[in-house]
A and B are shown apart, each in its own frame.
Chain A
Amino acid sequence: MMNQGGSTETIAPAQTNSLENWHILDASQGQTSSYFPPTTGPEAISWTIHQADHSSTSTYQYDYHTQPPTRNVQDGQTAASVPSSSSSLGSANVSHDYNGYAPYPNSTDPYGSSGYLGYCNSHQQQQSNHSSYQPQPPNHSSYQQQQSNHSYSQPVGAFQNTGAPYQPLSSFQNTGSYAGPASYSSTYYNPGDYQTAGGYSSSGYSNQTALWNDGTYTNYATHQYANYNPDSPGTYSSSAAPATSLHYQKQYKQWADCYGQTEVTCAPGTENISTANKSNVACPVPGVSGGYETSNSQTRPSYTPSWRPDSSSSDLPLVQPTVRISGSNDIYWHDGAPSSQVLLTSPMQSQSQKPLDPKTSYDSFQDQQKTVYSQGPSVHYPATHQVPQIYQSPMQTVASLDTQRVSKLQILTNPRIASNLTFNLPKIDKDSSATSTAPKPAYVSVSLPTANQKVMSDNAADSVLKTGMFPKSLRGYVERALSRCKDDTQMAACQAVMKELITKATADGTLYTRDWDIEPLFRLPNADAVNKDSFQCSTPGLALPEYKRSPNRRSKSRWEPLPEEKPLAKSASAVNNAVKYGGWMNAKERDRKPFVGNNESKENNFSGAKYSPLDQKNASKNTQRLVKKQRFADGFNAADKGDASGDSDKEQSLTAYYSSAIALANTPEEKKRRENRSKRFEKRQGQGQAETNHLKQKSAGRGNLYSRRTSALVLSKDVEDGGTRAVEDIDWDSLTVKGTCQEIEKRYLRLTSAPDPAGVRPEEVLEKALDMVQKSQKNYLFRCDQLKSIRQDLTVQHIRNQLTVKVYETHARLALEVGDLPEYNQCQSQLQTLYAEGIEGCHMEFSAYHLLCVILHSNNYRDLLSSMSRLSIEAKRDEAVKHALAVRAAVTLGNYVLFFRLYKTAPNLNSCLMDLYVEKMRYKAVSCMSRSHRPTIPVPYIAHVLGFTTPRNEGSDEKDSNGLGECVDWLKAHGACLTADNSGEMQLDTKASCSSLYMPEPEDAVAHGDASLAVNDFLTRTSL
């Protein structure tokens, strides 16, 4: 990898280099102009030539690629894939690409045998192009790459192809492992074809599906198709996606891009192309979310505009075909078509493209966005390995899941969907109308229609916020590129590369014209290894069985009407898993694997290295393993969970993405769920609708923060739903917010996600809030709650100053007053670090508390010793500390007289801490006295010594008598024997008491150990 990296851009480290290389290559390839022209007509020729060359000689290809940039590369890829199938790689490839996939099917078998070579060749070419031109022998890895490339190229050429070729392809898939890839490409192409040729869409699809799934798969095919379309830009990913969830996601993301591309190719031709480019650009932008920091804002904005054009121009045509295909779809489309035309958002496009699963596409799109967003934010902010990983995994799993789900949902509840769609459309329209001028509207509309809640809105917001002018496809591209990154360095390198790319493109003016979707990604260093692994792993035999399996599952899940969403989700998840990993991959093992390899290299590059070993080990289970690994790496991806671990995991993953599905199916259950969920964030400003509003409001000013927050929210949502991801995984540092909330009172709610600036109070307000709490006459629970929320806001904003100390001190004192030791301990530990940082406060007072706490409540001599030895000289001179030390001495000696004297003279709240020890001390004292004194002790003396009564000279008689009575009660409660002497004075019979004393169970004991939290009491108290 390193070597490769070094070649092209010489950017830097290995992985990064590879990425960069990719970009570079892409850039060169990316020159859309060259690309597109060929697509229309001459392309085939050029392609074929290239392919042939490639197939013939790897090095040769390399050269070609470099010269003809994108086209060549793609061609080479396609060629390679095609050639692989047949011995005559060059010619075959050409034919495949352009003529269709018919060659593919034919060649499928050859694929297995000779395909490798061809792939290798192509791969080499690709590699050379993409990465460092290393003349690698035909490796599996290379193969994979090629395949991925193929997929890319294929989509391009696929347009030309008709449905017929598709069928062959499908057959291929079934028959040979290699065929799988071919089929994939075909499927991809089909979308493209679809677009280009109206007839193709419906029939071709069905055919494909039949071939693939043996009937059941038809849906699948459609899905794939959809996926593929998007994928077409990033074909490999998309193709892989069908195979694996991962791929799916990417596909989805790419979807939009692909869409645009496909559309372009299909219909208007040049115009379409341009639109496609735009759309593509837009797509990449979402992907860019990975790029976020640098160019997010820019890219996203661009996203929307591009979409619109796309939708209007290309989407509509697409939509129509889809309509033809399926009645339900028709409905959708009809509803959506107008709207889509007007406002066609990315989701819309996807829908249109995916006739069967308009919603699915939509969902997928959303999902993609979500994933992107979540990933993006995570990536940006944490800027950690997790992010990229997360990104990848979410993308893959989620996307696939969503798409599947969506498809299912749609199928099941067509009316619903339709309604939803309509809903969405109108909303979109509104939005667009509202913000027709701005690019935002389109985006917003997208988010709104789905009403997929935050994700969408967030995405929209993000896009809006990051008002970039970057085309969607570019976003997708960036996304893809970043998604491959395994770690920070890679990410950074990738970002750098992409920055360069984008700046270059903008300088060239090709930013919008270039077909980013088709642009090959620069390679990651690990890609090769991964590819190799996957390649090796992939064996036709293994692949086939799995393939079959997965299709079946899919068909089931997708087409069978599921009564409930959950079941659906489960099945979907299962399907997804199977499909993702086993099914797709296996079915088209080689393709898949190549895909996988590609995916890994590109998407999973983060985790690519890990993956590769896995792949090697298990050919058939590669996918699953991969998923798992991703999981590990990601942790974030619910989808990942879903892989093989179990239903619950799957469920979780599904639920994670549920929201998107919810939007489509507005069942009451869903709504409830959503409500519940949103309630959790209530204080932070509510969610759902509120969020969208917020988005608009905040988007303008607080773009970054908001997007961050939203991303965090998304993440947190995942966490909630998935449960696996810990809140701790979120990098809070990166989520530091600046509060804007002006409310003084705020209830404490344990954060389960990133904080919402709108719900966080700035320092001035917090000061007021502290003041309010200090003056408040309300009960402890209220004040504790308020203080905790203040503490939370301080923490979230990283405020560590005197105010912080004051808040903690206030809270610690308050907790001491009511004997809430756990809360006190929290404050104390915070205070210690704050004092250690040199922030002024009542240090002495609290070191005295600390001493007392150690003495009285933790019987740990070493702690005591260390805290005593840590006391400074001036601390030892402090009244409070001296008192605490005296108390310690009294306790260690058992000097109860001294203890209660100190109790009476305790400074500050020392007495509160001593309070907690009083009972123990009294009991010790009485048992000591009853052992040592004979025959009796007067109770008044005991009452005096044990602090029941104040010293005689001070207290009034009345008070004393009260204390006396209390003492008598206490003694009786502890089993003391009391007698009255001649004068009527109560006496403690020491001899009798000696054996009868006992420690009574505390009367107010509660099972959970805190009487103040007794349910009844708690309820009465909280209803302030």
Chain B
Amino acid sequence: MAYLSMGEAHRRIADYLNRFSDAVSSQDGASLSLLLSLSSNSPSLLSLADALNLFQDTSRVIKQSDKYSQYTEIFIHLFRSLQTYRLGNLADAYQAFEKSANAFIQEFRNWESASAWALEALYVVAYEIRVLAERADRELALNGKSPEKLKAAGSFLMKMFGVLAGKGPKRVGALYVTCQLFKIYFKLGTVHLCRSVIRSIETARIFDFEEFPKRDKVTYMYYTGRLEVFNENFPAADHKLSYALMHCNPHCEANIRMILKYLIPVKLSMGILPKDWLLEKYKLVEYRDVVQALKRGDLRLLRHALQEHEDRFLRSGVYLVLEKLELQVYQRLVKKIYIIQKQKDPNKAHQVKLEVIVKALKWLEMDMDVDEVECIMAILIYKNLVKGYFAHKSKVVVLSKQDPFPKLNGKPVDS
């Protein structure tokens, strides 16, 4: 490598150009995408990068043949990107790659009229754009500069989305780009930007959602499900995340775990508890205490679990969802009291005295006075977690004789 000859460098470059134009002319998307996947660190690309570092006048080589000069824009920037990537200058590599990708999109428009053979290559470009931008941002942040490449990647992919979002075979690729966009937006915290993309995907009647590739559908459902979690729209979130879970490749445990991370809180808030082995298998043990607390009506345990994993829950955005489980825990607690009373005296079981509840809470080291517990009971009744009424004078919760603790059964708590 160190003693790369000029001729060898030239040969490598010419070889690359040749392969590129061959792939295009034979409409070989797979080999074309190999030539574009910068971050794959494939040996051929790395050696090409070395050659490029040695051989400065690449534009001359490119212009030598009409075959190549057609793609001059792509090559020049791609080579520059390769060079800088090889040298570890990711910000510049991204910048050049974006330019190259821009030229690539222009060419792509021309290629795609009949079939969508180059979609694969386009996917690679979109992926590279995102990954390079992320790495460039990391580099920029390390150098104390403002990381803005990912944002730029977002707007570039938006452009790419525009290329694909029309009719025709290209449309199949739109969802992939959408998913890349989601990844960027979620990373940047600009989730609101997802809306326009979602709208154009979901309102387009021309193309059935089911016709998209499965992996894209799963990714898409995962992200939109997460969005619904943010919006506290649990039924929709449940639907989308369940869809993602159902269609996810069962061997991709990491992906399943990611889906479950959001699906479990959603299910919990609807009264559906996961089996312990599920949490074990997918290493979601942080939910175990929460589930336990729900089962036992152990408020202390819930609060403890929330506090213990606060950072994690806050970061993933399920903290508020889990916090709302508190009411279900109260419900469970009252239900337990009710069951115990029933065992003692079935006739008076439906009358739960407030002080009993206060005592139970005190036993859980929850220091709440009568007023507060009365408030909690009022809320439980108000939210339809408990059927009955509260008699203020006697400080007694009078439970309905029929189904005093209605199950949620997949319905969210009334708000």
Contact = CB atoms under 8 A, between A and B. Distances in A.
Interface of A: 861-862, 864-866, 868-869, 889, 892-898, 925, 927-929, 931-938, 941, 944-945
B68 interface: no
Contacts of A868: 314, 319
Contact of A862 (B317, B379, B390, B398): B317
Contacts of A893: 323-324, 326-327, 379
Contact of A865 (B317, B371, B379, B389): B317
A892 B379 contact: no
A909 B381 CA distance: 34
B209 interface: no
A866 B190 CA distance: 12
A895 B379 contact: yes
Give the size range of B's interface with the partner. 20 to 34
B258 interface: no
Contacts of A931: 378, 381-382
B372 A897 contact: yes
A932 B381 contact: yes
Nearest to B232: A861
Of the listed residues B191, B374, B392, the one surrounded by the most CB atoms of chain A closer than 10 A to its CB is B392
Contacts of B232: 861
A928 B323 contact: no
Contact of B382 (A866, A892, A928, A935): A928
Interface of B: 189, 191, 230-232, 311, 314-315, 317, 319-320, 323-324, 326-327, 371-372, 374-382, 389-392, 398
Given A895-B372, A932-B380, 12 more contacts: A861-B232, A862-B317, A865-B320, A894-B379, A898-B375, A931-B378, A931-B381, A932-B378, A932-B382, A932-B389, A933-B390, A935-B391
A933 B320 contact: no
A984 to B, nearest CB: 16
Given A864-B320, A889-B323, A897-B371, A933 B311 contact: no
A865 B381 contact: no
Contacts of A869: 311, 314-315
A895 B324 contact: no
A862 B314 CA distance: 10
Contacts of A861: 230-232, 317, 320
Contacts of A897: 371-372, 374-375
**3 closest residue pairs by CB, A with B:** A932-B381, A869-B314, A932-B378
Of the listed residues B319, B378, B380, B381, the one surrounded by the most CB atoms of chain A closer than 10 A to its CB is B378
Contacts of B314: 865, 868-869
A486 to B, nearest CB: 25
30 contacts: A861-B230, A861-B320, A862-B189, A862-B230, A865-B314, A865-B319, A869-B314, A892-B320, A892-B324, A893-B323, A893-B326, A893-B327, A893-B379, A894-B379, A895-B375, A897-B374, A898-B372, A898-B375, A925-B375, A928-B378, A929-B378, A932-B379, A932-B380, A932-B390, A933-B390, A933-B391, A934-B391, A936-B392, A938-B392, A945-B371
Contacts of B375: 895-898, 925, 945
Contacts of B398: 934
A114 to B, nearest CB: 42
Nearest to A860: B230
Of the listed residues A894, A897, A931, A936, the one surrounded by the most CB atoms of chain B closer than 10 A to its CB is A897
A902 B315 CA distance: 27
Contacts of A898: 372, 375
Contacts of A929: 378
Query: In terms of DSSP, what is the predominant structure of the interface of chain A?
Result: helix
Contacts of B323: 889, 892-893
A945 B317 CA distance: 33
B315 A934 contact: no
Contact of B377 (A892, A932, A938): A932
A862 B226 CA distance: 12
A697 to B, nearest CB: 44
Nearest to A895: B375
Query: In terms of DSSP, what is the predominant structure of the interface of chain B?
Result: helix
A194 to B, nearest CB: 60
A869 B320 CA distance: 12
Contacts of B379: 893-895, 928, 932
Given A869-B311, A869-B314, A894-B379, A934 B319 contact: no
A34 B178 CA distance: 73
Nearest to B321: A861
A933 B314 CA distance: 36
A864 B317 CA distance: 10
Contacts of B392: 933, 936-938, 941
Contacts of A889: 323
Contacts of B326: 893
A47 B121 CA distance: 69
A869 B189 CA distance: 13
A59 B372 CA distance: 100
A933 B378 contact: yes
A342 to B, nearest CB: 61
A672 to B, nearest CB: 49
A931 B323 CA distance: 24
A795 to B, nearest CB: 22
B270 to A, nearest CB: 18
Contacts of A938: 392
Nearest to B229: A861
Nearest to A929: B378
A575 B323 CA distance: 72
A945 B371 CA distance: 8
Contacts of B315: 869
Contacts of A937: 392
B313 to A, nearest CB: 9
B47 to A, nearest CB: 38
Contacts of B376: 895
Given A893-B379, A932-B382, A933-B378, A862 B191 contact: yes
A861 B326 CA distance: 18
A938 B393 CA distance: 9
Nearest to B326: A893
A897 B311 CA distance: 28
Given A861-B232, A893-B379, A932-B390, A866 B189 contact: yes
Contacts of B324: 892-893
A932 B386 CA distance: 10
Contacts of B372: 895, 897-898
Contact of B389 (A862, A925, A928, A934): A934
B353 to A, nearest CB: 15
B415 to A, nearest CB: 9
A581 B317 CA distance: 62
Contacts of B191: 862
Nearest to B192: A862
Nearest to A889: B323
A927 B319 CA distance: 27
A638 B398 CA distance: 78
A934 B387 CA distance: 13
A933 B390 CA distance: 4
Nearest to A862: B230
Contacts of A895: 372, 375-376, 379
Contacts of B327: 893
Nearest to B374: A897
Contacts of A936: 392
A937 B231 CA distance: 35
Nearest to A866: B189
Contacts of B389: 932-934
A993 to B, nearest CB: 13
A892 B415 CA distance: 10
Nearest to B388: A932
A933 B315 CA distance: 39
B193 to A, nearest CB: 13
A391 to B, nearest CB: 32
A605 to B, nearest CB: 29
Nearest to A937: B392
Nearest to B311: A869
Contacts of A933: 378, 389-392
